[in-house]
Chain A
């Protein structure tokens, strides 16, 4: 047990006071001459065991009472070992998970997990007397020293955001701060709901984090305030796609609205409000199971009216706009609304780098023909050696049929992919050992008779079937020459003998794909059997356009994270150029982390919480233990709105113990039979 005023424990020796008083009392006895010794002897013999026990009990209770009084004034703490984290010179680092799931409350309108955790941490740190508090929140990720624990409750940096948290990075920042500042005490308080997408248990950084924290000289303790209630009643709404399509003489907005919940609790009808340009409409969606998609919900749009509404005239002249969908309030207000942007389709621009003229011709033809007559397409052809100067700002797809680039060009391609661009590599005539995204070309092999694809992903991706359900004729392709691939990737199509035909490398954003042959008639009949190649490339362009169009939807945090540079550079904008035109008010420094709509120079970006925030599983305690293996971890389960505190002074129980001890002592000190009554009974015995 630990005490806020431990020096008062020096008074503990007075616990012996009752014994001393007892001994003194025994010492100052009186002597009397007594005749009726026989009754004394009988009484002594009768009450020897009980009397001694009672005497000891009374003494013990008196000592207990004194000890309880001393403890009470010494202000003991519950979970007192926590106090060793605190102290006058000690500081604590607080890692605050501000992800949307932390906005969940126990009941609708109640206190959120984040607010509860914040309040409890403030109370605990104040109780412990911690003066230095360093805040690392999931949005900024940078250490911020606070004047006092109470400041934690008032800062805007502790309000919920729409961006997911990255616990490994926050912990790295904490350990770096502790390493740099040796005077800081080693206590880390993590306030989180243990969502897998925030904690990233598969992240390779965890072993390094463990090692860094274990190597700190302070001896770090980690306290986890876990609010693991998954909120099964919660329903989340999201718009996955918003496209503007011509319908008759006007335009029509087609929305894909998704409702999600953690657990199937029977069908329920959810009214979804759609706000668009000041107009509001409601559609009821029956949520069955854990997820229901309302696909292509059509809303007529008057583009001219939109242009007269909010936004920059230059943007709206391009036919872009934004809107919002909401559902009734439930236990998590953060996922009850979603913003979307839409716009007329931009030019489907493809950058083509091809050393083989025959392949180049086929690729250019395929890329130049848009899938709809309303759309426009453009192809820019660049020689490989001039690629360093190519502008990729408006490009949706880059086709690279040349040796895999290295150096500056490779970095340019990396940035292109990071901002959401799509790259398809085709094998050069002379493969080199260079690699991109971990994949490199091997040697060519000729096949006669030609090989045919034996398996491919027909359910999703670039080779999926058409909307009518018909499969692409991938199996009819004839591959005469194929280039081997080495490296890790996902095979979307394979040839006989498990040779990869189309491989996609794993990336967070954008896509990097490798096609093991070219459309050159010498290599395959991709050009002759043009359907497969056309679908593949047009779908790749579709994906790449999402990052290029005047209106795009992104996850909160993307514009301000490591990808922000690519994003803003790609658009030719500085981060400060973005202006929030919709969504809850938030500090300008955090505009990229909150839900809403940002606008800048003809571009609209709708920011929403990442999709995985909606239904992310909660990490089990064992998994958390495994992540902190070898470290001192204490977990405090808390509930949103819970009134309890982590560290409490427990002088009240001490006082209760004092009172109980005194009452028990009083009861034991009472004569077993009142002398008056006994004397009465003795007198009654007289004749």
Chain B
């Protein structure tokens, strides 16, 4: 399935094997083409009982519940849950700001690890995986497919993506919401350095299209602490004009602005019911993913 595993520096086989024990599950019903591990909005032939329904002409007589007919003299059909596969759409922010990292790991590198592992896990459990790398526009787009060869393309795309340019993630999310026709699990990996209102609109659009949305919010510890001491010339990684400032002068205001922004993001994800994981780049990638997968497994059930 993964022939050149050794070359994927962002994939850790040990981590993959450990995480394989936890399934990647959708929190919402998925509409897939084949049978899978994910709940479907349709009734199907799994072993899990769903409901009784009155027989209508055309129903398969094999599904008629003879016991109910014997007791009540009425024709009822016994229905079961249908399991299907999911479409995993990885949306990786590849704007210039994703190249930042003060702990030795850049944000894009961390995103590669997360996205690559998730793609591998999804593919292994038979789900379709696609990827969209977005900066000012969609830099690279691979629609979800199930075959392992496609996984290689996805990993290639991850490996080749370079942080560059400004971010227009909200616009791209709108576009994805419209182009992915069936319900999908959309996993967004970004620093979300954008207007919270625009992000709220894009996420709302995805939710409107009944996509299950998960959000990895990647922040560097230095961005949170902001503990510079010397006067510093800050060069915008997304091509904006540089800014000269004495960090001691503006640290307090910076923290205020950061807190307000984080509060706004939190408000949006709560309102939209989005699976949100705030990730610091100094965290262990495996723990982050384990927390994510376990959280989804326990929250499963809504159709």
Nearest A residue (CB) for B253: A43
Cα distance A55–B248 in the bound complex, in angstroms: 11
- Tell me whether B249 and A46 are in contact (CB under 8 A): no
In contact, A46 and B236 (Cβ under 8 angstroms): no
Inter-chain CA distance A571–B251, complex, in Å, is 100
Contact of A39 among B231, B238, B261, B278 (CB under 8 A): B261
Question: Which A29-66 residues have C-beta < 8 A from chain B?
Answer: 29-44, 46-47, 51, 54-55
Q: Is the CB of B245 within 8 A of A675?
A: no
Q: Which residues of B contact A686 (CB under 8 A)?
A: 262, 266, 278
A467 interface residue, CB < 8 Å from B?
Answer: no
Q: Which of chain B's residues have a CB closer than 8 A to the CB of A39?
A: 223, 226, 254, 257-258, 261
Q: Which residue of B lies closest to A670 (CB)?
A: B248
Q: Which of B97, B225, B228, B244 contacts A35 (CB 8 A)?
A: B97
Task: Pick the contact of B191: A35, A51, A671, A678 (CB < 8 A).
Answer: A35
Contact present for A675 and B262 (CB under 8 Å): no
Interface string of A112-151 (1 = CB under 8 A from B): 0000000000000000000000000000000000000000
Q: Give min CB distance, B294 to chain A, whole Å.
A: 15
Does A374 make an interface contact (CB < 8 A)?
Answer: no
- B236 in complex: contacting residue of A34, A669, A678, CB < 8 Å: A34
In chain B, what residue has the closest Cβ to A676? Answer: B225
Residues of chain B within 8 A of A683, CB atoms compared: 224
Contact of A673 among B96, B232, B255 (CB under 8 A): B255
Q: Does B57 contact A (CB under 8 A)?
A: no
User: Is residue B45 contacting chain A, with contact meaning CB distance below 8 A?
Assistant: no
Query: Is B252 an interface residue when CB atoms closer than 8 A count as contact?
Result: yes
* Cα-based distance from A671 to B253 in the complex (angstroms): 10
Contacts of A54 in B (CB 8 A): 249
**Which residues of A lie under 8 Å from residue B99 when comparing CB positions?**
33, 35
Chain A residues with Cβ below 8 Å from B230 are 25, 28-30
- Asked if B263 is at the interface of the complex by the 8 Å CB criterion, the answer is yes
**From residue A62, how far is it (CB to closest CB) to chain B in Å?**
15
Does A448 belong to the interface (CB within 8 Å)?
Answer: no
Residues of B within 8 A of A28 (CB): 230-231
Task: Find out whether the CB atom of B262 lies under 8 angstroms from the CB atom of A35.
Answer: no
A445: Cβ under 8 A from any B Cβ: no
Contact in complex: A682, B235 (CB < 8 Å): no
Q: Is A687 an interface residue (CB 8 A)?
A: yes
Taking a contact as CB atoms closer than 8 A, the residue among B98, B191, B225, B261 that contacts A675 in the complex is: B225
The smallest beta-carbon distance between A196 and chain B, in angstroms, is 68
Q: How far apart are the CA atoms of A414 and B89 in the complex, in Å?
A: 135
CA distance A47 to B249 in the complex (A): 8
Tell me if B107 is interfacial: C-beta within 8 Å of chain A.
Answer: yes
Contact A37 B256 (CB under 8 A): no
| Structural contact, B262 and A37, CB atoms closer than 8 A | no
Cross-interface CB contact of A671 among B193, B248, B261, cutoff 8 Å? B248
A681 close to B (CB within 8 Å): yes
Q: Which residues of A contact B261 (CB under 8 A)?
A: 38-39
CB of A679 within 8 Å of the partner chain: yes
B215: min CB distance to chain A, Å: 10
Tell whether, in the assembled complex, residue A675 and residue B97 are in contact, meaning their CB atoms are under 8 Å apart.
no
B210 within 8 Å of A (CB atoms): no
Query: Within the complex, what minimum Cβ distance (angstroms) separates A640 from chain B?
Result: 58
The answer, yes or no, to whether B6 is at the interface (CB within 8 Å) is no
Say whether A55 contacts B249, CB under 8 Å.
Answer: yes
Shortest CB-to-CB span from B226 to chain A, Å, is 6
Does A589 interact with chain B (Cβ within 8 Å)?
no
| Complex contacts, B223 vs chain A, CB 8 Å | 35-36, 39
Q: Which residues of B contact A687 (CB under 8 A)?
A: 266, 269, 276-278
Whether A678 touches B244, Cβ cut-off 8 Å, given contacts A33-B100, A34-B100, A686-B278, is no
Q: Given contacts A30-B230, A38-B193, are A681 and B249 in contact (CB under 8 A)?
A: no
Question: Is B1 interfacial (CB-CB < 8 Å)?
Answer: no
Question: Which B residues touch A35, using CB under 8 A?
Answer: 96-100, 107, 191, 193, 220, 223, 237-238
Residue of A nearest to B264 (CB): A685
Which residues of A have CB within 8 Å of B234? 31-34, 37, 40
* Residues of chain B within 8 A of A676, CB atoms compared: 225
Q: In the complex, A652 Cα to B231 Cα: how many Å?
A: 37
Alpha-carbon distance A33/B232, docked complex (angstroms): 10
Q: How far in angstroms is the closest Cβ of chain B from A551?
A: 93
Q: Given A33, A37, A678, which contacts B252 in the complex, CB threshold below 8 Å?
A: A678
CB distance from A61 to the nearest CB of B (A): 16
In the complex where A47-B250, A679-B226, A687-B276 touch, is A37 in contact with B240 (Cβ < 8 A)? yes
Instruction: Please tell me if the beta carbons of A42 and B263 are within 8 angstroms of each other in the complex.
Output: no
Q: What is the minimal beta-carbon distance from B33 to any residue of chain A, in angstroms?
A: 34
Q: Does B227 contact A (CB under 8 A)?
A: yes
Q: Which residues of the other chain, A, contact B253 by a CB distance below 8 angstroms? A: 42-44, 46-47, 672
Q: Are A682 and B193 in contact (CB under 8 A)?
A: no
CA distance A28 to B276 in the complex (A): 41
Q: Is the CB of B249 within 8 A of A51?
A: yes
| Contact partners of A47 in chain B: CB under 8 A | 249-250, 252-253
Cβ-based interface call for A470 (8 A): no
Q: In the complex, what's the smallest C-beta–C-beta distance from A56 to chain B, in angstroms?
A: 12
Q: Give, as a whole number of angstroms, the nearest-CB distance from A19 to chain B.
A: 15
Q: Which of B232, B243, B250 has the most chain A CB atoms inside 10 A of its CB? A: B250
Query: Is B259 among interface residues, defined by CB-CB distance under 8 A?
Result: yes
A42: nearest chain-B partner, CB-CB: B257
Nearest B residue to A675 via CB reads B251
Q: Is A468 an interface residue (CB 8 A)?
A: no
- Counting CB contacts under 8 A, is B67 at the interface? no
Q: How far is the CA of A629 from the CA of B252 in the complex (A)?
A: 64
Instruction: Give the distance to chain A from B257, nearest Cβ to Cβ, in Å.
Output: 4
Residues of chain A with a CB closer than 8 A to B5's CB: none
Contact present for A675 and B255 (CB under 8 Å):
yes
Q: How near does chain B come to A674, taking the closest CB pair, in angstroms?
A: 8
CB distance from A74 to the nearest CB of B (A): 34
Whole-angstrom CA separation of A31 from B230 in the bound complex: 10
State how many angstroms separate the Cβ of B247 from the closest Cβ of chain A.
Answer: 9
Given known A-B contacts A30-B233, A31-B233, A34-B237, A40 and B227 have beta carbons under 8 A apart: no
* Shortest Cβ distance from residue B242 to the other chain A in the assembled complex, whole angstroms: 8
- In the complex, the chain A residue whose C-beta lies closest to that of B100 is A35
A8 to B268, CA, bound (A): 66
Bound-complex Cα distance A29 to B243 (A): 12
Minimum CB–CB distance from A48 to chain B (whole Å) comes to: 9
Of residues 185 through 241 on chain B, the ones whose CB sits less than 8 Å from some CB of chain A are 191, 193, 220, 223-228, 230-238, 240
Given A37-B240, A679-B224: A673 in contact with B252 (beta carbons within 8 A) = yes
Contacts of A679 in B (CB 8 A): 224-227, 255
Whose C-beta in chain B lies nearest to the C-beta of A669? B248
* Chain B residues within an 8 Å CB radius of A669: 248
With contact pairs A33-B100, A683-B224, A687-B276 given, residues A40 and B243 touching in the complex (Cβ less than 8 Å): yes
- In the bound complex, what is the Cα–Cα distance between A283 and B99 (angstroms)? 111
Q: Is the CB of A685 within 8 A of B251?
A: no
The CB with the most chain B CB atoms within 10 A, among A26, A28, A32, A671, is that of A32
Q: Bound complex: CA of A112 vs CA of B250, how far in Å? A: 64
- Cβ < 8 Å to A, chain B residues 92-127: 96-100, 107
Q: Are A44 and B245 in contact (CB under 8 A)?
A: yes
Residue from A26, A33, A55, A682 in contact with B224 in the complex, judged by beta carbons closer than 8 Å: A682
Say yes or no: A29 contacts B224, CB within 8 Å.
no
CB distance from B248 to the nearest CB of A (A): 6
Picked from A29, A36, A42, A46, the residue with its CB within 8 Å of the CB of B233 is: A29
Known: A37-B236, A43-B257. 15 other contacts (CB 8 A): A30-B231, A35-B237, A36-B97, A37-B193, A39-B226, A39-B254, A40-B254, A47-B252, A673-B251, A673-B256, A675-B255, A678-B252, A679-B227, A686-B266, A687-B278
A and B contact pairs by CB, cutoff 8 A, 9 listed: A28-B230, A28-B231, A33-B235, A35-B238, A37-B240, A42-B257, A51-B249, A679-B226, A681-B259
